[in-house]
Amino acid sequence: MTPESPLEHIPLAERMRPRSFSEMVGQEHILAPNAAFRKQLTAGQIRSMILWGPPGSGKTTLAFLIVEHLKGHFITLSAVFSGVKDIRNAAKEAKDLWASQKKKTLLFVDEIHRFSKSQQDAFLPYVEDGTFILIGATTENPSFEVIPPLRSRAKIVVLKPLKPEQIKQLLERALSDEERGLAAYQPHVDDTILTHISEICDGDARIALNLLEGLVLSTPPDEEGNRVIDTEAAKEAIRRETLLYDKAGEEHYNLISALHKSLRGSDPDAALYWLARMLAAGEDPLYIARRMIRFATEDIGNADPMALLIATQAMESYRFLGSPEGELALAQAAIYLACAPKSNAIYKAYGEVLREIQTTGALPVPFHLRNAPTRLMKALGYGKEYLYPHDDPDGVVDQTYLPEGLAKKSFYRPKKAGYEEKIRKRLEHWKSLRTAKKKK
């Protein structure tokens, strides 16, 4: 590619996107010739799949290569800009193409985790009847961000972050490629710079290639047209750039993970550091606020009921004040959450309930708990033998509230942490009262 090439406006990372499986670097666990996934692909036995991996690991590239290999029709959607209407339009296009040409359609959905659960439901009938092969890409754990019915119909393919030596291989390829890379600029980049970029980009090939391109294009050519990159100046430029790259939000798991785990580990200093680091990099403050609200319910819960209020109010305070004043509210919330007693009892209880429902299905509501607004329903036994707790001196009655067969189940088990210890003692007291009443 020459400096005057029409491809110049296209970012290097996009220009250097592999055009064949032989150009792919990394992901040997699925792309090696003897890997099960590669064998299925070679045989044309591809089913709907969710590609799960960190940014810059090759999810989009892999999707393109699969389509090219299968010679299918390709439709792309982004969950950021698309909705149910777009999914239905894609399904109609796929059906029409199959009817006219017997050509299979592959629907690639980038950032599929951004679709709501109801939006994800829209894929189910089309994946089920084979209208299209769905290839979803996500940086988030599908166990939490993709609905179970869709997960059961799609294979989860895990992509790993690229290793430094693999990143370096891509950089060297870009420097030597005259058609799509940077060779036409006659760059001279010291090996230490390539090593440095490879080690600080967190396995993200896109970041690494964009950093390299920035260094080359920002260096003026000498009299002979060579662009000699100054090593020390390059390292300083890379240091500034990598801070900005850390603002990728949901796509940058490492930073938000560090904040979450510092809060969970009750380290206010570390929590404040990671919060400030993300804000300084230009992260969306409301994204951080949402993650802290999630943390308040997931890792603190009833050990300190105020945690959820503090986190929620921090988000509202930021909306009211904006930056930079509102950032102090986020800092206050982060420190409060880090210093609060911790309990994941609610998180575990809710997960256990969901698993129970999947196992036992829709058990009928006991008759004594059913609503009885009509005479017929009362005659059928709706509401019969319901005990009104307010009529009892202790406010506790010997009554079963779970469906038949689950009466002895216990989902919520409060810990001996903060306010949850009071809840635990209260539940034990009520249990002893019910036991006593049962014996009468």
Least confident of 134-138, 149-153, 285-289, 383-387: 383-387
Residue from 342, 334, 253 nearest 293 by CA:
334
If one counts every other C-beta atom within 10 angstroms of the C-beta of residue 101, the result is 9
Q: What is the mean pLDDT of residues 400-420?
A: 81
* Mean pLDDT for the chain overall: 84
pLDDT of residue 263: 93
Asked if the model's pLDDT at residue 251 lies above 50, the reply is no
Which of the pair, 177 or 362, is modelled with greater confidence? Answer: 177
Which of the pair, 247 or 82, is modelled with greater confidence? Answer: 82
Phi/psi at 392 (nearest 5 deg)? -90, 135
Q: What is the mean pLDDT of residues 218-226?
A: 87
Question: Which residue has 């064998």 as its token pair?
Answer: 39
All residues at 6 or more sequence positions from 237 whose CB lies less than 8 Å from its CB, including other chains: 214, 215, 218
pLDDT of residue 135: 92
The string of pLDDT tens digits covering residues 146-204 is 889 999 899 999 998 899 999 999 999 999 998 889 998 999 988 988 988 888 777 88
Which of the pair, 112 or 247, is modelled with greater confidence? Answer: 112
The string of pLDDT tens digits covering residues 296-345 is 999 999 999 999 999 999 999 988 888 788 899 999 999 999 999 999 98
User: Strand, coil or helix: what is 189?
Assistant: coil
pLDDT of residue 252: 55
If one counts every other C-beta atom within 10 angstroms of the C-beta of residue 353, the result is 13
Q: Which two tokens stand for residue 161?
A: 């972050």
Q: Which CATH superfamily is domain 27-158 in?
A: P-loop containing nucleotide triphosphate hydrolases (3.40.50.300)
The string of pLDDT tens digits covering residues 117-127 is 888 999 999 99
At the topology level, CATH places domain 164-245 in Helicase, Ruva Protein; domain 3 (1.10.8)
Q: How far apart are CA 79 and CA 133, in angstroms?
A: 17
Amino acid code (one letter) for 139: T
Whole-structure pTM value:
0.56
Q: What is the mean pLDDT of residues 228-237?
A: 80
pLDDT of residue 7: 55
pLDDT of residue 171: 94
Distances (CA, A) of 429 to 71, 262, 422, 425, 436: 67, 35, 11, 6, 11
The string of pLDDT tens digits covering residues 412-429 is 888 888 888 888 888 788
| pLDDT bracket for residue 5 (50, 70, 90) | low
How far apart are the two ends of the chain, measured CA to CA in Å? 90
Phi/psi at 412 (nearest 5 deg)? -90, 115
Q: How far apart are CA 404 and CA 48, in angstroms?
A: 39
Domains of the chain, by residue range, sit at 27-158, 164-245, 249-339, 360-439
Helix (H) or strand (E) holding 70: helix 59-70
Q: Which CATH class is domain 360-439?
A: mainly alpha
Strand partners, 138: 52
Domain 27-158 and domain 164-245 have a common topology: no
Let me know: does 197 contact 238? Beta carbons within 8 Å.
yes
Distances (CA, A) of 213 to 61, 169, 288, 363, 385: 20, 15, 30, 60, 76
| pLDDT bracket for residue 253 (50, 70, 90) | low
| pLDDT bracket for residue 376 (50, 70, 90) | confident
CATH code 1.20.272.10 for 249-339: yes
Let me know: does 389 contact 395? Beta carbons within 8 Å.
yes
pLDDT of residue 339: 94
Percentage of the residues of the chain whose pLDDT score is greater than 70: 94
Asked if the model's pLDDT at residue 128 lies above 80, the reply is yes
Compute the chain's Rg from CA coordinates.
Answer: 28
Let me know: does 119 contact 82? Beta carbons within 8 Å.
no
pLDDT of residue 439: 67
pLDDT of residue 3: 56
pLDDT of residue 247: 46
The string of pLDDT tens digits covering residues 21-44 is 888 998 899 988 888 888 888 887
Burial, 149: exposed, middle or buried (Cβ in 10 Å; 0-12, 13-18, 19+)?
Answer: middle
pLDDT of residue 222: 87
Residue from 255, 288, 295 nearest 274 by CA:
255
Q: How far apart are CA 290 and CA 315, in angstroms?
A: 7
Q: How far apart are CA 228 and CA 393, in angstroms?
A: 87
